[in-house]
Amino acid sequence: MSDLRITEAFLYMDYLRMSECIQISFAVCRIGIHTCFRALCCKGPPPARPEYDLVCIGLTGSGKTSLLSKLCSESAENVVSTTGFSIKAVPFQNAILNVKELGGADNIRKYWSRYYQGSQGVIFVLDSASSEDDLETARNELHSALQHPQLCTLPFLILANHQDKPAARSVQEVKKYFELEPLARGKRWILQPCSLDDMEALKDSFSQLINLLEEKDHEAVRM
């Protein structure tokens, strides 16, 4: 074979290798562009946040409606006490709480238990600056809820509200007066101070409640 033909053969082989490299490069670029496009534009909807159904109870004047309104970014001014029941969806970053608030008047509290079914957690709001008589009534209602068959195994968030008032009892005073340590031993419960003036602390209290709800969910899955 002449030198010219050998040179032509080598050149043709170099051309094929170059052509193959170009095709591979284009393929890699297409894959990269497709991957980037999917990452940027085709993520799809974010995963759904879990939802929990809660019941919120407490005497009239304890501040249930105002606290829930603030958590929903609604105005707490001119709030009217709930006379029957109301439902609010309270959004958090990692969960949505569907809160059924029950009125706390004397003639309504006896019907609370009719609304307990289906609850996954309990919010109990008390006025830490209330009179001794009202505090005694609140203690009796909380004890009844903690021992109720439909609530006794559920996580409880107990909010000692109106901490911004001069007559407010401290959390330690409330815990002792309500006899929470012996009564709620072995149960999932949180006692936290709160007021409308400290929304960060209130949101942190609800985050702790969400953690308890998630723990209960995980235990149910393992069983």
Ligand-binding site membership of 148 (annotated) = no
58 annotated ligand binder: yes
Is 159 annotated in some ligand binding site? no
61 has binding-site annotation? yes
As a whole number of angstroms, the distance between CA 209 and CA 156 comes to 7
Annotated binding residue 104: yes
Would the annotation count 170 as a binding residue?
no
- Burial class from Cβ neighbours inside 10 Å (0-12, 13-18, 19+) for residue 175 reads middle
**Element housing 123 (H / E):** strand 121-127
150 is in an annotated binding site: no
* 53 assigned to a ligand binding site: no
Is 82 annotated in a binding site? The answer is yes
- Rounded CA-CA distance 199/196 in Å is 6
Q: Distance between CA atoms of 138 and 125, rounded to whole angstroms?
A: 9
> Is 137 annotated as contributing to ligand binding?
no
The annotation status of 161 as a binding-site residue, yes or no, is yes
162 annotated to a ligand binding site: yes
Tokens of 56: 């919120």
Annotated binding residue at 176?
Answer: no
Rounded CA Rg of the chain: 31
Binding-site entries for Mg(2+): 65, 82
Binding-site entries: 58-65, 82, 104, 161-164
Binding-site entries for GTP: 58-65, 104, 161-164
